[in-house]
Structure 1
Amino acid sequence: MIAARTPASPWTTGSWRNPPEDAVVEGGHLRVTAVEGSDAWRRTSYGFVHDSAHALLAPFPQDTALDVSFLLDYREQFDQAGIYLHSSAEHWIKAGVEVSDGVPQVGAVVTDRVSDWSVAPVPEWGGQEVTVRMSRSGDAVTIRARRSGEAFRLVRVVPLEPGLEVSAGPYCCSPTRAGLTVTFTGWAQGEADAALHG
């Protein structure tokens, strides 16, 4: 069962991990302009460590869930937005939609000292409002995503130690260019989803 969400505190809640070039609240939305070269990745395949993604983080306690919504109106290679969960520089998760090889891809990067990456193409989501949900219960975080008007689809189930202090919130980054601005349309919180399967 997927529980309803209530709006989180205003966009001024939380604190930036790696402040963006600009962040402006307009009409209830948060418009974030990423710094050129911002990214989050640790070693695997590429060999580098990047720890400069822009994430607006607030506490993410056990048995709660977060929804972050944004407009998927970006198109350049590796442009990305979604939810970032932070435990430490070597332990974090980012989930959302990233453009890869010219196609929007819904997926997640899970980092436990080194990063992995899973994606699925969603070209039909281009130009739409997308919502990513992280639901934390038991020993896991369940990640789901959808475009407006559709049901959530399962993206990933990730182990996470019960009771571990972590923070989470909206994130974006732009590894390969300047000028990416992401419009976040919502940030909501509520009870964790009651079950993994509907």
Structure 2
Amino acid sequence: MWHCLNRACESSDRARGYDVTPATGEAHDDWGRGTWRNPPVGVVADGRTLQVTAAERSDAWRHTSYGFVHDSAHALLAPLPAEGAMEVSFLLDYTEQFDQAGIYLHVSESVWIKAGVEVSDGIPQVGAVVTHGVSDWSVAPVPEWIGREITVRLSRAGNAVTIRARAGDEPFRLVRVAPLDESARAEAGPFCASPTRANLTTTFTRWVGTDADATLHPGQD
């Protein structure tokens, strides 16, 4: 078991819809446990929320389809142990093409995962980019999530990472199951990026760590 990374954990923070150990432990009110990979243009922390302003043209992608390598997304990272999980919550109040926020897992420049909500073709899409040398992107439209608090959960167990997401207190939905070397030293935490414009500011409301999911398919194991 490990601890909250920004504010006191509450009983309402328990994941709904699958078996997971609730987060407990010491609270940290200054978002100070993480280290920035690609520091953003601006950061405002008030003890409860973290407002992050992304640099114009910030992004994370490797090769596939577009032909470029971008490694400039802003990620606040802390160690993610084997058999550990993280949850990041933020407000979905952005609307421009490729605006994105969520959780980022970093192993190396060529091995990483980002998961969250990205605006694509005018619609917010929940999804993940899984990168092992080259990037693999999967999305699903969630226009009904606009204006709500979104939580993305990344759980690491064995040789896999399981990603789930929800709006508000709805049950988590499965977004992606992806491979990850169980011996890899990984870090994870909140991220945002703004590939096509300046002045994207994301409000993060929660960052917490706990144990990995107890099962991939609740009620079926």
TM-score range, shorter chain: over 0.9
Partner of 1:4: 22
Structure having the higher Rg: 2
Scaled by the length of structure 1, the TM-score of the pair is 0.97
Say yes or no: does 1:84 pair with 2:122: no
Report the aligned-residue RMSD: 1.1
Within the candidate set 141, 145, 150, 2:161 is matched to 141
Determine the C-alpha separation between the residues in 2 that align with 1:135 and 1:113: 22
Partner of 2:199: 179
| Deviations 1:131-160, CA, capped at 9 Å, x for gaps | 000001111110000000200000000111
Say yes or no: does 1:126 pair with 2:157: no
| Deviations 1:45-80, CA, capped at 9 Å, x for gaps | 000100000000010000111000000000000000
AA paired with 2:23?
A: R
Partner of 1:100: 120
CA contact (8 A) 1:61 1:163 kept: no
CA contact (8 A) 2:103 2:116 kept: yes
Q: Name stretches of at least 5 consecutive residues in structure 2 with no aligned partner.
A: 1-18
4+ runs of 1 displaced by more than 6 Å? none
Determine the C-alpha separation between the residues in 2 that align with 1:86 and 1:6: 24
Determine the C-alpha separation between the residues in 1 that align with 2:24 and 2:89: 13
Q: Name stretches of at least 5 consecutive residues in structure 1 with no aligned partner.
A: none
Partner of 2:136: 116
What fraction of aligned residue pairs are identical, expressed as a percent? 67
Richer in strand (by share): 1
CA contact (8 A) 2:31 2:47 kept: no
Say yes or no: does 1:15 pair with 2:35: yes
Q: Which moved more, 1:5-14 or 1:154-163?
A: 5-14
Give the number of aligned pairs: 198
Determine the C-alpha separation between the residues in 2 that align with 1:141 and 1:91: 13
Partner of 1:35: 55
| Deviations 1:52-109, CA, capped at 9 Å, x for gaps | 0000001000011100000000000000000000000001000000000010000000
**Structure 1 residue 5: Cα displacement:** 2.1
**Structure 1 residue 12: Cα displacement:** 1.1
Within the candidate set 134, 155, 179, 1:159 is matched to 179
Secondary structure at the residue paired with 2:144?
Answer: helix
AA paired with 1:188?
A: V
